[in-house]
Amino acid sequence: MDALLALEDGRIFPCRSFTGPGETAGEVVFNTSMTGYQEVLTDPSYRGQMVVMTYPLVGNYGINPEDMESTRIWVSAFIIREYQAFYSNFRATGNLADYLKSWRIMGVEELDTRALTLHIRNAGAMRAVISTEDKDPSSLVKKAKASPSMTGLDLVKEVTSSKPYFWENGGISSCQPPLDELNSRVWKSRGEKKSVVAFDFGIKYNILRNLEKLGFEVLVVPATTTEQTVKALEPDGIFLSNGPGDPEPVHYAVKTIKNLLGYRPIFGICLGHQLLGLALGGTTFKLKFGHHGANQPVKQLSTGKVEITSQNHGFSVDLDSLVGKEIEITHMNLNDNTLEGFRHKTIPAYSVQYHPEASPGPHDAEYLFQRFKDMITKQES
């Protein structure tokens, strides 16, 4: 089915829908991963975005329940060069087109993804509309310009869990008390396992898998959870998750994090890193086209070691805004010299902009989860 993609700057790309009729809007970004398209689709950090895969052939290994990173697909649309309907993989349980259609997400192919990627790289990520119904370029450009801008948009409230839950035995387990009645008696393995409260700003399952693998008892709480509730739980550590969109409108979380500084060790990833930066008095800014992919080089400043990392974010903490705030810069991006990690010199708190849990991507940075456990152990000794 013929379709048309129109960017807000007037650039038009013809394509074909492999998921049927429809129309959708969002910010277009490109992802450089060669595999892992199901993990990309189900990453809540992509809420409000259309994802262009730079690798040309997609769909060849199908989809399966084990590769989901959340309960559903979050992208606004999926843009690829060539769709492979006939998958071949022993783990596969279905094809990509049916998976997208089950969530009413548009998938388009036969689009010049190289040209689109180069355009975004040069002009920056921007809003767009894809339609099989409206083929008028001027009409679609007007619709793209009228769609919400990512800057100033709080998307966390759209992806966070509405109630707390435990992560145990590799899956979600219900938490009986409601959020406003939580206290330290909720822990099932108190004294046997270290307990972690994980804020869900759009958390990925592989983060929770890594925390459980280290022996933590993990309670996931909604993004709006207050510091009073966290303190009533008396956890051993606090985790700040990844998530979508602009960190600055998520002021409720920044306030909570600020009030929790120094209470328990804190570890933040991606949006959690940005929110921690804001809580410490820093500022953030929007990147030109963001970092989306599994091959971003990051330098660990203390050792000089270069890690190849998985990333997905469109905003960054301003490095200069943390100067003079007792902050040690720990990691830097070697592509554009943006801030990738920091720690507080006196408070047990640190964060990284990238995804040490990967999924998809390399596992160079998995050591950061062990560092979190070591920090908790040291704090208690």
Residues 90 and 215 in one domain: no
Q: Which of 146, 173, 195 is the last residue of a domain?
A: 146
pLDDT for 270-306, tens place per residue?
A: 999 999 999 999 999 999 999 999 999 999 999 999 9
What is the sign, positive or negative, of the torsion defined by CA atoms of 353, 357, 363, 366? positive
Considering the domain boundaries, does residue 151 fall inside one? no
* Exposed / middle / buried, residue 370 (Cβ in 10 Å: 0-12, 13-18, 19+): exposed
Residues 118 and 201 in one domain: no
Range of the domain at 212: 156-380
How long is the chain?
381
Q: What is the mean pLDDT of residues 63-83?
A: 97
- The catalytic residue among 39, 217, 270, 307 is 270
Considering the domain boundaries, does residue 42 fall inside one? yes
Q: Which of 146, 178, 205 is the last residue of a domain?
A: 146
Quick check: 68 and 42 in contact, CB under 8 A?
yes
Residues 6 and 72 in one domain: yes
Q: Is 175 a catalytic site residue?
A: no
- The catalytic residue among 8, 69, 109, 357 is 357
Buried/exposed code over 130-165 (b: 16+ C-beta within 10 A; e: otherwise): bbbeeeeeeebbebbbebeebeebbbbeebbbeebb
Average pLDDT, the chain: 97
Q: Which secondary structure element, helix H or strand E, spans residue 293, and what is its range?
A: strand 284-300
| Three-state secondary-structure class, residue 28 | strand
Q: How far apart are CA 375 and CA 354, in angstroms?
A: 20
Please tell me whether the overall predicted TM-score, pTM, comes out greater than 0.95 for this model.
yes
| pLDDT (0 to 100) of residue 53 | 98
- The catalytic residue among 119, 313, 331, 355 is 355
Considering the domain boundaries, does residue 141 fall inside one? yes
Q: Which of 246, 232, 249, 268 is nearest to 347 (CA)?
A: 268
Q: Is 355 a catalytic site residue?
A: yes
pLDDT for 126-182, tens place per residue?
A: 999 999 999 999 999 999 999 999 999 999 999 999 999 999 999 999 998 888 899
Q: Tell me, what CATH number does 211's domain have?
A: 3.40.50.880
Alpha helix segments (H runs only) across 147-204: 156-159
Domain total for the chain? 2
Q: What is the mean pLDDT of residues 224-233?
A: 97
Alpha helix segments (H runs only) across 131-226: 137-146, 156-159, 205-213
Q: With cut-offs at 50, 70 and 90, classify the pLDDT of residue 380.
A: confident
Is the model's pLDDT at 381 over the cut of 70?
Answer: no
Q: How far apart are CA 269 and CA 33, in angstroms?
A: 19
